[in-house]
Structure 1
C-alpha cells in the first residue's frame, strides 16, 4: 500500500487589515481612472449632445431669432479698397502699371432671411436679402471720391469684339469715340459700386436690342442693395447635426451650370454664418457665396483664441485658385485648353459675367504666381491683412472672427481695330478688393463664456472630485500599509529580544548529570572537596 499524502491545510483567511488595504487600493484606482479618463470622455459626449440639441434651425430653437436676422448676432461690414491708377497715359505707351491702394470705403451689411418655409425633409427655405449703408466714420473718404480705373463697360465691349470682324471692331471703337471713352476713366466710388447709366451701353442696347445688351446700367454691385435676393434651401440639423446649415439648393438648383465637371458645379457647404458642430482640425470646410460663383474650401491652419475662448483658424489655401497643372481637381474651372488656363492665383469668371474678362483672386494676388505680382507696381501681398479666413469655435461651429476677402480683376490687352487699346500689354489688372469682416459682439462672447465656465466648473468638479477621492483612498491604503509594516517590525524586534534573553539565561545555567551533579566543561563530574 502506498503512503497517503496528508491533505493540504486550508488557506489562511486574509486578516482584516489586509482586506481594508485591498479595498482602499481598489477604490483608489477606480476613482482615479474614472476622474482622469471616464468623466472627461462622458462629459464631452454629454456636452456634444447638448450642443447638438441647441444648434438646430427650428422655430422653437434658441438660435432661431438670431438665425433669422444674422446681423443681430454679428455686425458685418464690407470694406472696399480700390487700385487707383497712377500712370494711365504711360500704360498706353507700354509702361508698367502703377497703382495706389485707396480705402477702405466701408459699408454695413444688413442680412435678413424672409419668406421662411420649413419642409418635411429636414430643410428650410428662405429668401436672403442684403442691404448696404455707408459708414463715413469707418471710411477714408466719401462715396463721391473719384477713382481712376479701367473703363469696365468699354473694355468688356472691346474684349467681346476681339474675335469679331474688323468692321465690328471698328464699330466698337467708333462708339467709344462718340462717347469719348478711353481704356481708363475717372469714376466715383458710389457709381463704380452701385451703378450708373452708361451712354455706350444705352447706345449698344438701342442698336443690338435688349436681348443681347440686357442693361444700360453698370456697377460692380448693381442690383445687390436690397434687391435680387438669393433663394436658399438649407439643412436644419435636426436629423443630422453634421449637415447643419449646409446648402441643399440655391435659387432652385442643387448644382451650378457654369463649370466643366460635376465636382466644380457642386453647391457645397454653408453660407458662412454657421457651420456644423464638433469641427475637427482635419475637416475641409466649404462656403458657398454667389459672389464667388462657386464653393470655396477652408482649411485648418492653426489654433488661436478670442477673449480666452479657444478657436480654430481656417483659411482659403493656395490650391483654391491653383492652375490645374498644379492642382488637377481644379480642371473643371478651366473651360479652355489646359495651356490657356489662367495662372495660379486667379479664377476666371468670364462665363458668369456675360463674357467680360473678369477674374477673382486673393487681395494683392496673395498665394498667386509671381508673374501677377511682378506685372504691377503697388501690389504687396501680406498674409496678415489679405488672407481669406474664419476663426471658428469648434464645439458649436460658430464663427467668432470673419475676414472673407476677395479681389476683382480684369484681363486687358491690345485689340486690333480698337485704337483705345493700342499700347496695352497683356495684363491681369486689379480693380478693387473687398474685405467682408465681422467680430462676434461682446454680449454674445460673454454669454458663451458664461456657458463655457459653467460646463467647465461642473466637469472639473466631477473630474477632480473623483481624482481627489481616488488619491485619498490610495493615501489611506499606503498609510495603513506603512503602519502595519512598522508594527510588524516592532513585534518581530520584541520577539527577537525575548528569544535572545532566554538564550542568554539558558547558557548561564550549570549542566547537571543524572544524579544531579554539576558537570565540568570537559565532561567529568565535578566533585566538591570534602571538608576536614
Structure 2
C-alpha cells in the first residue's frame, strides 16, 4: 500500500504550526495583549471610558445605620452594665460625587473634592420612619465629658456648668429623642451664654462637621447631617495612565502628603487608594487597601478564596480586625494605653475617645462583650467585612463595609452625672455601606471582555488539540509509509 509522503509532511508542518500558535498565542502573547489592552483603558485621565463613572457613580450605595437603644438608663447611671436593643436598619441612598477636578498630565495625577448625598428611604427601612424615640449616651455631652477627662482634667470642675449652659441643665449625660434628629436633623446646642469657658468651647464648633451653625448663638448637632452634601476634603491621587498599578493611589489629603494624627511617620503614611477605584491585575498577596479620612487610617482586606458572582470569576477578600491591626506602637494613645484587640482608638484622630470596631465587637477582645449585659451577638455573616473583586479589571462587584462606633465611658468622681457609670466601651451605632452590581453591569463585562477571553480560550485549545492530533497522526502515517516503501519483495516460488 502506498502513502503519499508529501501530504503527510505538509499536514505535519500545518499541525506543528497550529500547536505552536495555540501555545504561543494562547498562553503567552494573548495574556500580554489582554493585559496591555485592559490597563490601557482603565485609568481616570480625561477622555477615558471610566472617567465619567469615577467623577459621579451612576448608582447609589446602600447606606444602613443601626443604633443601640439603652433599656436600663437608670441602672447604668448607678453603675450597672448596659442592656442594649439594636434598632434599624435605617436605609439611605448614598450618592458619591467628585467635583473641582484638576488634572496634572506631567504627574499623571488628579486633584478633587468630594461629597456624599444621603436620601432617606423609609420604604426600605423595615417600617421605621425616623420618628422613633431612642435612648443612648449623648454623643456630644458624654463625648465632651470623656474627652476632658482624658487630656484636660483641669477643666473638670467647670465642665458641668458649661454643659448646663449648652444643653439647658441636662439631668444626665444621655440622649432621649427622635432618631432622625440624632442622625441628620440635629439636636439643639445653645451658645448664647456669656460664660467665658462656654464661649471658648463654642468657638471651636465652627470647625466641627458634626455641628451645623444655625445662627451666631445656636448650633445643631447630628451624627451625619454636617456631612450631607458638603465638601468633605481634597484628595490628590494617581490617574493610572502612566503606571496602571498606581491607579487611585492617594498622594495627599487636604494638601498634606501624610497624616499628622499619629506619633510616627510609619503610622501617618497613606496606604492604598481613595476607596472608589482600584488597579487592574492586582496580585492576591497585595490585599485591598484604602485610606479612610474619617478614622485617620488605611485599612486592608486579605484574600480568602475564589468564587463566582453572576457567572463571573471573583476573588473573595475579608478584613479581619481581629488580627493585630495596632501592632505599631504609634497607633496607641500612649506607651501604656493601646486599644483592645480588634478596635481602633480614634482619640488622636478626632479628639474624642471614640472606638471603631466591627459591629457587635465581632473578632474583638472578648472582654468588650463582657462589659455589656445584653444586646450584642456577633456573627460573621451580619458583622464581618467582605468584598468580591473581579481582579482582572480591579472592579468590586459586591462589597459590605461595616464599622461600629463606640464611646469609651469612664466614671468621673468630680462630675455628678457620671460619677457612678461603669467603665465600659459603650456601643452607640454602626453603619454599613454596601454595593451589589446587578446583572446589567456584570452582563456587559461577560459580553465584552470575558466573551473575547472565552473565544480565545476555545480557539487556543482547538489549535492545541488539532495540532497535537494532526502531528501524531501525520507522524504515524509517515512511519507506516516509510515501512511500506522499504518492504522487501520475495521471489516467486520461494
3-state SS of the aligned residue for 1:142?
coil
Distance 2:182 2:324 in 1: 26
Displacement of 1:212: 4.5
Q: Which residue number in structure 2 is paired with residue 66 of structure 1?
A: 53
Corresponding residue for 2:379? 382
For 1:37 and 1:241, how far apart are their aligned partners in 2? 25
Structure 2, gaps ≥5 residues long: 212-218
- The more displaced of 312-321 and 105-114 is 312-321
- Determine if contact 2:191/2:202 at 8 Å carries over to the other structure: no
Deviation per residue, 1:274-312 (Å, 9 max, x gap): 200101111132111222222111211111221110111
2:459 equivalent among 456, 459, 462: 462
Taking structure 1 as reference, are residues 405 and 92 closer, same or farther at Cα in structure 2, changes over 3 Å only?
A: same
Aligned-partner Cα distance in 1 for 2:303–2:61 = 23
Task: Note if 1:152 corresponds to 2:152.
Answer: no
Q: TM-score, normalised by structure 2?
A: 0.88
TM-score, length-scaled by structure 1: 0.82
Match of 1:333 in 2: 331
3-state secondary structure, aligned to 1:408: strand
**Pair 208,274 (structure 1): closer, same or farther in 2 beyond 3 Å:** closer
Matched residue, 1:106: 91
| Alignment check: 8 A CA contact 2:371 2:424 kept | yes
- Structure label with greater radius of gyration: 1
SS at match of 1:144: coil
1:344 aligns with 2:341: yes
Structure 1: any 5+ residue segments left out of the alignment? 1-14, 503-532
- 8 Å contact from structure 1 (residues 201, 217) kept in 2: no
Any conservation in 2 of the 1:260–1:334 contact (CA below 8 Å)?
Answer: no
CA displacement 1:287-339 (0-9 Å, x = unmatched): 1122222211121111122111011122222366634xxx3xx32211312x3
What is the alpha-carbon root mean square deviation over aligned residues? 2.8
Aligned equivalents of 1:211 and 1:461: distance in 2?
69
Q: Deviations over 1:353-397 (max 9, x none)?
A: 2x3211111111111111112221221111122122321110111
Shift of 1:107: 0.7
Counterpart among 398, 404, 422 of residue 425 in structure 1: 422
- Give 1:122's aligned residue: 108
1:11-68 CA-to-partner distances (Å, cap 9, x unmatched) read: xxxx997787677556645533542464222111111111111101122111122122
1:316 matched to 2:313: no
**How far, CA to CA, are the matches of 1:454 and 1:341 in structure 2?**
51
Contact 1:154 1:176 in 2 (8 A): no
Counterpart for residue 96 of structure 1: 81
CA–CA distance in structure 2, aligned partners of residues 64 and 251 of structure 1: 22
Q: Is the contact made by 2:5 and 2:481 (CA closer than 8 Å) also made in structure 1? A: no
Kept in 2, the 8 Å contact 1:161–1:172? The answer is no
Tell me which protein shows more strand as a share of its residues: 2
- Residues 191-227 of structure 1: per-residue CA shift (max 9 Å, x gap): 2122524346665774435435555432222410011
Alignment-derived partner of residue 352 in structure 2 = 356
